[in-house]
Amino acid sequence: MPHKCTKCGREYNDGSTEILKGCASCGGKKFLYVKEEDLHKDVLEEKSIDEISKESRQQVLEVKAEPKKEVEMYDRVETIRIVGPGSYELNIEKMAKGDERIISVGKGGVYNIDLLSFVKDTPKKKKRRK
Amino acid sequence: MKIFYQTYSKVKKRFSSFLSRFFKKKRTRIGIYGPPNAGKTTLANRIARDWTGDAVGPVSEIPHETRRARKKEDIIISGANGATVTIDIVDTPGVTTKIDYHDFLEFGLDRDEAVIRAREATEGVAEAMHWLREDIDGVIYMLDSTIDPFMQVNIMMVGIIESRKLPVLIVANKIDLPEASPARIRSAFPQHPVISISSLDGKNVEELYEMMIEWFG
């Protein structure tokens, strides 16, 4: 069964992944699952999508907003991203956790993993002179 | 007889190292952290000059002048009431999440120099974070009070320092400048002691020393 945007009425094929990003026409986040035969009811019978929803007893599906980009940035796997020569993005939270280095190049998801940095013995904490 | 002396000296050595473990002066290693251009090296130089007569490192207007952590050991700071604290000061490279060589070009560096500076600065941040994990007992977190303190990197760094349970003293620097707003820093970090100073002209530095004795002693 196809989906229909509750805001502008645009229809999407069943299983369409497009709706996960919100409606392509109006950016709406709510979609109704409609039967094939009811698909054009809103236009033909001048019904609102709310009414169709009540008639067909289908819940309106809400697509959740994507997580903020910034959060994603600090969840990243790499310690250092080389954006270009002489341009770096550093993940200091990752650096605070250990000396392991994963370096990514550009934005294309290319990673270099410094394997040696993972197996190095962590130097024992020197005894403080107190 | 020879054997006796050898054993005697061995025992003596052991005994003295055993004693020194208890009686050696207490030393605290303090890291000066903060974003680039906050005045970390200026403060480190001032502390070193006031108490030992030496300097720690060069300063400049171009961000990321300090790209290696520098250490000055055995600085004895004494307060007005006679209390003292012996510290090692570690001046660290400015911690930031983005380093771009383009930012250095406006200071007149040529492209190659700027690219090298960016690379060294990146290594410097990694080194600063390494020190924080391994060998720091307390932190002076330095902020430029003319700049908005609510930057992601500051919130993150203070969070990291808190999670490591290190004592932290927040220093609002550059109060000699007219646009300085140390109150903004105070409101950003109400959970920590904040002291406003000018590490350039030395204003309030005496109070900072008193606080360091109290906080890190």
Residue of A nearest to B19 (CA): A130
Q: What is the pLDDT of residue B4?
A: 72
What's the Rg (C-alpha) of chain A?
Answer: 25
State the pLDDT confidence band at A51, using cuts at 50, 70 and 90.
confident
- For testing the chain A interface, which of B20, B95, B97 should be mutated: the one with the most A CBs within 10 Å? B97
How do residues A52-97 score in pLDDT, each as one tens digit?
777 777 777 777 765 445 545 556 788 888 888 889 999 888 888 8
Least confident of A45-59, B88-102, B172-186: A45-59
End-to-end CA distance of chain A: 73
% of chain B with per-residue pLDDT over 70: 93
* Domain boundaries of chain B, sorted by first residue: 25-94+123-216
Q: Which of residues 32-71 of A touch B (CB under 8 A)?
A: 70
Which residues on chain B are in Cβ contact (under 8 Å) with A126? 135
Q: ipTM > 0.90?
A: no
Could you tell me which of B76, B83, B70, B190 has the C-alpha nearest to residue B128?
B70
More confident residue, B203 or B23: B203
Interchain contact, B129 vs A96, CB within 8 Å:
yes
Q: What is the pLDDT of residue A78?
A: 85
More confident residue, B17 or A96: A96
Q: What is the pLDDT of residue A130?
A: 45
| Residue B113 in tokens | 């120099």
Contacts 24+ apart (CB under 8 A), A38-43: A39/A2, A39/A4, A39/A11, A42/A4, A42/A9, A43/A9
Least confident of A61-65, B75-79, B168-172: A61-65
- Residue A111 phi, psi (nearest 5): -120, 145
Is residue A115 predicted with pLDDT exceeding 50? Answer: yes
CA angle B188, B193, B198 (to 5 degrees): 85
| A8/B contact by beta carbon, under 8 A | no
Could you tell me which of B10, B122, B119 has the C-alpha nearest to residue A92?
B122
Is residue B137 predicted with pLDDT exceeding 80? Answer: yes
| A90/B contact by beta carbon, under 8 A | yes
What's the Rg (C-alpha) of chain B?
Answer: 20
Q: What is the pLDDT of residue A10?
A: 83
CA distance linking residue A22 with residue A30, whole number of Å: 8
Q: What is the pLDDT of residue A57?
A: 73
B25-94+123-216 topology per CATH: Rossmann fold (3.40.50)
Range B5-34 average pLDDT: 72
* Residue among A74, A92, A128 whose CB faces B129 most closely: A92
Could you tell me which of A46, A48, A90 has the C-alpha nearest to residue B124?
A90
CA distance linking residue B186 with residue B205, whole number of Å: 17
Range B185-190 average pLDDT: 94
Is B195 exposed, middle or buried (CB count within 10 Å of its CB: 0-12, 13-18, 19+)? buried
**Nearest-neighbour CA in chain A from B16: distance (Å):** 14
More confident residue, B25 or A90: A90
Q: What is the pLDDT of residue B136?
A: 92
Sequence-separated (6 or more) residues with CB below 8 Å from residue B126 = A79, A80, A90, A95, A99, A101
3-state secondary structure of B208: helix
CA distance linking residue B205 with residue B208, whole number of Å: 5
User: At residue A39, what is the residue type?
Assistant: L
pTM of the model: 0.69
